[in-house]
């Protein structure tokens, strides 16, 4: 637990340092805006172009981050991005991935443009798992986040979708945007099969904490609605 507290504190401090750069935060920290906070030791930010990326990189380097070798930059993303890492207390490491121009999934090849991410985002309040501090960050809408996560459809993504689904106001937006980039039915079927599997609830609670049966069933019903 202690190492996670240290990493989260460092990430929060880093986000505050780059606050004057135009970026949208995605990944676990964006999800935390809409759900009970879960741990994330990495920050993923999207910028429009290389000029913004260079500005962010300069600030990170001033904060003692170093650029990771390409062979070490293992992320779910592909395309143009750069990872910066920092060793903190007791040898723990935090990282910031700067995604430039688009969010391209390494596994499926599906992507959304940075312009799309910015268009479908707004400033929200972020709270960490271990911290009482709140910070303002630009994050995608729940619909846009779900689009990106449904395109990837990893286990972590599917848990996040399940928890965020109650915040969705426009199911048609998700279906339309996913369908323009991939086979919606195929990705949705994978999601549905995961949430009805016998171990899903236990695994979900291992990440997000205890979930009431009534709450779990409500979320499941909304996932079913998404596919209608």
H helix intervals, the chain: 2-17, 27-31, 50-62, 114-119, 142-152, 155-164, 171-179, 184-195, 200-208, 213-226
Average pLDDT, whole number, for the chain?
91
Burial of 34 (0-12, 13-18, 19+ CB in 10 A): buried
Beta strands in 48-153 (DSSP E): 66-67, 77-78, 81-87, 93-100, 102-105, 111-113, 121-127, 134-140
Task: Report pLDDT for 71.
Answer: 45
The residues near 98 (Cβ < 8 Å, ≥ 6 apart) are 23, 45, 47, 53, 56, 57, 81, 82, 83, 84
Task: Report pLDDT for 96.
Answer: 94
Written as six digits, the tokens of 126 are 């972020």
- Say whether pLDDT at 18 is over 70: yes
What is the CB neighbour count within 10 angstroms for residue 32? 23
Q: What is the rounded average pLDDT of the residues 50-60?
A: 96
Interatomic CA distance for residues 3 and 190, integer angstroms:
34
Higher pLDDT, 34 or 69: 34
Task: Report pLDDT for 78.
Answer: 65
Task: Report pLDDT for 70.
Answer: 65
Residue 25 main-chain phi, psi, to 5 deg: -90, 135
Cα dihedral 142, 145, 147, 148, rounded to 10, equals 180
Q: What is the pLDDT of residues 173-217, one digit of tens each?
A: 999 999 999 999 999 999 999 999 999 999 999 999 999 999 999
Residue boundaries of the structural domains of the chain: 1-140, 142-228
Q: What is the pLDDT of residues 109-166, one digit of tens each?
A: 899 999 999 999 999 999 877 777 889 999 999 999 999 999 999 999 999 999 999 9
Q: According to the per-residue pLDDT averaged within each range, which of 42-46, 104-108, 132-136 is highest?
A: 42-46
45 forms beta bridges with 25, 98
Is the pTM value of this prediction over 0.85?
Answer: yes
Residue 125 main-chain phi, psi, to 5 deg: -95, 130
Query: Could you tell me which CATH number the domain at 1-140 has?
Result: 3.30.460
Written as six digits, the tokens of 44 are 């993923």
Task: Report pLDDT for 45.
Answer: 96
Written as six digits, the tokens of 100 are 């430039």
Interatomic CA distance for residues 10 and 133, integer angstroms:
12
25 forms beta bridges with 45
Q: What is the pLDDT of residues 64-102, one digit of tens each?
A: 999 987 644 456 666 788 999 999 877 788 999 999 999
Interatomic CA distance for residues 26 and 144, integer angstroms:
10
């Amino acid at each position: 637990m202690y190492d996670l507290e240290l990493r989260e504190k460092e990430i929060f401090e880093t986000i505050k340092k780059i606050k004057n750069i135009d970026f949208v935060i995605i990944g676990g920290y964006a999800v935390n805006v809409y759900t009970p906070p879960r741990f994330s030791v990495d920050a993923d930010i999207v910028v429009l172009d290389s000029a913004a990326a260079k500005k962010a990189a300069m600030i990170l380097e001033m904060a003692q981050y170093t650029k990771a070798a390409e062979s070490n930059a293992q992320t779910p993303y592909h395309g143009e991005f750069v990872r910066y890492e920092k060793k903190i207390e007791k040898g723990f490491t935090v990282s910031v991935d700067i995604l430039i121009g688009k969010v391209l999934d390494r596994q499926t090849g599906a992507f959304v443009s940075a312009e799309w991410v910015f268009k479908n985002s707004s400033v929200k309040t972020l709270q960490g798992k271990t911290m009482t501090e709140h910070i303002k960050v630009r994050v995608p809408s729940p619909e846009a986040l779900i689009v990106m996560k449904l395109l990837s459809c990893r286990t972590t993504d599917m848990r996040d979708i399940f928890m965020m689904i109650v915040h969705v106001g426009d199911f048609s937006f998700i279906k339309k945007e996913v369908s323009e980039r991939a086979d919606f039915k195929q990705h949705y079927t994978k999601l549905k099969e995961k949430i009805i599997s016998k171990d899903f609830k236990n695994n979900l609670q291992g990440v997000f904490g205890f979930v009431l049966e009534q709450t779990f069933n409500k979320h499941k019903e909304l996932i079913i609605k998404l596919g209608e």
